[in-house]
Amino acid sequence: MKFSYCGFNAFNQWELEDNYNGEFKSIELTANDICDKFKEEIETFDIYINWSNNLYIFNTKVFIRGFHNGNINVFQELTNPKSDPVTNITSTDEYVLFYNTKHTYVWKYYLDEDVEEKWRLLPNFVKVDQRIGLDESNVINNDNDECILKIASSIRMNVALTSNGRIFNIPYEINTKCLGKVIDINCGFEHGILLTDLGNVYTWGGGSRCQLGHGSTDNYDEPELVEALSGIKITAISAGGWHCCAVSESGDLYTWGWNEKGQLGVFSASKDNIGCKNNEEEESSLNLSIESSDAIPQNKIRKLKDFESADALPNYALPMLIDIYDDESDCLLEKNIVEVACGSKHTVIKLDDGTIWGAGCNKYGQLGFEAKTVESVSYFKKLNVNLDNVSVKCGAWGTAFIQSCVKK
């Protein structure tokens, strides 16, 4: 098993010689030192990247590395009081949620060193009938019962997806009114995004930075269809701090939301693009250019307030179809996007030829460029990744490329 990482590393959450990785393009790592701590063959592996620590899952065990309990360079196992097996985790700066995709229990672990009771078993929200107030204790389900498939966490929400396609902002069920069954969820800092098996995309939450894709900066309490993508079958979604990405069945990439550091990867913007330009004297109006934009009700289209200084890049309140420009060949690539991942203010994609491209903030070297000379990248540029056949993981301020897990 090998990693390649670039980005923030001030708390030694990655085993590197330097605490700050901003000057390195990429670094290859192995996980053998971690595996030796529990002497098991690695059957399954995953990683969750926080800004101050990493959380590793090896088989059904969870390890934390980096800042923890007031110390840096910590490496220790996190075991819930009942030693329940864990298959997945999600995390914020304040806590970690542990769960198992065959069950409904969720353990909450507080990262704050001042919290006395570190572990808490959450009420079984999947098993509770909220309409009649029936409250059941946490139980382990059999394989035929509804279980938790995924939990996505952010500053303002913990969103859970069950095997029946139900969604909860834990512990309350969300009325989705979706066309099709929900198959994936993701969260930004203030918003949520979901995908159905019919390829429809819905967003909700805070919209102050255009991140919902509904043509405005309005907030939505419940998931609302992103109408600009209607008729386009989406197969993958991702959410950054205040932006969203979606990949279509045909391999096209759509992005929308906050674009302060170029994280949307828009190569060129014309007067026909759907943007909220920054102007100190007057608000900018929206122009509709993509084919599906005709479906947007006019009462949802309004002028957008300024967000950044006059020299900032425009935000986009509706999905933009993204072109990938190759500096070396000086032309647009006709390649399909197969994977997308978002950090706080950066986005990384993988093309069908295996190459990796990134756009947005590079303050901590998270795009693999030297941070002192490249602060940000306003459109997708090819990254120098020294591993083949990798999957992409983004933390808020870092990017990891993970090679397929192999047994020791």
Task: Show Cβ contacts of residue 297 under 8 Å, excluding neighbours closer than 6 positions.
Answer: none
Q: Is the pLDDT of residue 113 over 90?
A: no
Residue with tokens 């929400």: 157
Say if residue 87 is exposed, middle or buried (CB neighbours under 10 Å; 0-12, 13-18, 19+): middle
Greater confidence (376 vs 388) lies with: 376
Sheet harboring 2-7: ordered strands across?
27-30, 2-7, 398-403, 390-394
Comparing 63-72, 115-124, 272-281, 319-328, the range with the smallest average pLDDT is: 272-281
So what's the pLDDT on residue 128? Answer: 61
Greater confidence (213 vs 129) lies with: 213
Q: Is the pLDDT of residue 177 over 70?
A: yes
So what's the pLDDT on residue 287? Answer: 34
Q: State the Cα–Cα distance between residues 368 and 325, nearest whole angstrom.
A: 18
- pLDDT 10s digits, 341-360: 999 999 999 999 999 999 99
Q: Is the pLDDT of residue 363 over 60?
A: yes
So what's the pLDDT on residue 281? Answer: 30
Average pLDDT over residues 280-294: 36
- Largest separation between any pair of C-alpha atoms in the chain: 64
Q: What is the pTM of this model?
A: 0.84
Greater confidence (49 vs 306) lies with: 49
Q: Residue 299, SS3?
A: helix
Q: Is the pLDDT of residue 140 over 60?
A: no
